[in-house]
Amino acid sequence: MARLIDTIEGHAGQWEQLLRQLREGTLAHSLAFTGPAGIGKSRVAWALAQALLCERAPEQRPCGECGSCRRVEQKQSESVLTLEPAGTQIKLEAAHQVLEFLALRRISAARLILVNESHLLNPQAANALLKVVEEPPPGTHFVFIVPEITQLMPTLRSRSQVLRFAPLADDALALGEEIPAWMLRSARGSFEKLAAFRDEEMDDLRQLAFTFLEASVAGRREGLEKLLAGAKDRETALQAVRFLQQGLRDWTLFGTGREIHADMRERLARLPQIEPRRRVGLWAQAQRMESDMIGNVDRALLFENFFYRATGVN
Ligand SMILES: [Zn+2]
């Protein structure tokens, strides 16, 4: 039993604003929560659901204990509907689900429709939602979760009140624990990423990515072989590419104190001096690797191409 808001680190300003608007009866029927992935936007939306639905709601601060609060906490509330992408899009069927949900007799004071990854709403789905977003039934609230407001369909954007969420400060992320600096910097305010980085295999992968960079620049193939052996699935390979990008970034920012992987400084110091233009070319290639990999280009081929390009920079 819990008030969800008590389980969320940070975002106090956003939360107080939502509560104040709820108390004053000015809470928008359509809200857009913007900010990087994994920083708790969706969790604040669920906390808002408790505030909207709490049976006791003293001054709209949810009690966390009544039946409604508990059903929301367990994500079993009949008054909350969540939409998620199916594959790479939120399709028309999902919008139809919303219309059906709103056609049901309302059994609570409020209803909340939470649309995760709203930038993936396809145009048909967004159009189908337009009318209910514009003239929602009483007590209905939409929350569109999206990294950047410009990624939300303009028709929905113009009808939504935007609430910005910032990445969490490093100290809020660390919560008083000893966490290596590279993890905090690389997680960029995301609890999800930080949790993933704390897996020991993640540090092994990071070492492999740096070894690959060093060996490639020196024209040695062994780094490639090791990395390919270590990055067996697509997710792992994608993370290896991100570490590679960060390694190239740190190489460029070497000595400025702004490096992500400051503990790798000595290894970066041993890399050869090459023309900045070539280094930037490598970095751009590592960026393309990521989108190519998401587009299902063969992983081994992408690492191989990088190796040949890096070998040629000297
Ligand atoms: Zn309650």
Q: What is the DSSP string of 28-48?
A: -SEEEEES-TTSSHHHHHHHH
Residues 6+ positions from 117 with CB-CB distance below 8 Å: 84, 85, 90, 145, 146
Residue 84 has pLDDT above 60, yes or no: yes
Neighbour count for residue 169 (Cβ, 10 Å): 12
Distance 53 CA to ligand 1 centre (A): 7
Instruction: Answer for the pair 65, 185: CB distance below 8 angstroms, yes or no.
Output: no
DSSP H/E element including 156: helix 154-157
| Residue 165: per-residue pLDDT | 93
Distance 55 CA to ligand 1 centre (A): 5
On average, the pLDDT of the chain sits at 90
Q: What is the DSSP string of 188-232?
A: TT-HHHHHHHTSHHHHHHHHHHHHHHHHHHTT-THHHHHHHHH--
Three-class secondary structure of residue 92 per DSSP: helix
Residues 6+ positions from 168 with CB-CB distance below 8 Å: 9, 10, 39, 40, 189, 190, 191
Distance 76 CA to ligand 1 centre (A): 14
Distance 111 CA to ligand 1 centre (A): 15
| Residue 173: per-residue pLDDT | 72
Q: What is the pLDDT of residues 169-211, one digit of tens each?
A: 776 777 667 778 888 888 877 877 888 888 889 999 999 999 9
Give the pLDDT band (50/70/90) at residue 153. Answer: very high
| Residue 182: per-residue pLDDT | 86
Distance 2 CA to ligand 1 centre (A): 9
Distance 79 CA to ligand 1 centre (A): 14
| Residue 176: per-residue pLDDT | 66
Distance 1 CA to ligand 1 centre (A): 10
Distance 114 CA to ligand 1 centre (A): 19
| Residue 132: per-residue pLDDT | 93
Residue 313 has pLDDT above 80, yes or no: no
Q: What is the pLDDT of residues 87-119, one digit of tens each?
A: 899 999 999 999 999 998 888 889 999 999 999
Q: What is the pLDDT of residues 280-302, one digit of tens each?
A: 889 889 999 998 998 889 999 99
Distance 145 CA to ligand 1 centre (A): 24
Residue 273 has pLDDT above 90, yes or no: no
CA distance 47 to 39: 14
Distance 66 CA to ligand 1 centre (A): 4
Residue bearing tokens 């990423």:
193
| Residue 6: per-residue pLDDT | 84
Give the pLDDT band (50/70/90) at residue 1. Answer: low
Instruction: Answer for the pair 197, 186: CB distance below 8 angstroms, yes or no.
Output: yes
Distance 267 CA to ligand 1 centre (A): 55
End-to-end CA distance of the chain: 61
| Residue 58: per-residue pLDDT | 66
Distance 30 CA to ligand 1 centre (A): 23
Tell me which of 252 and 147 has the higher pLDDT: 147
Distance 50 CA to ligand 1 centre (A): 7
Counting residues of the chain whose pLDDT is more than 70, the rounded percentage is 97
Distance 163 CA to ligand 1 centre (A): 24
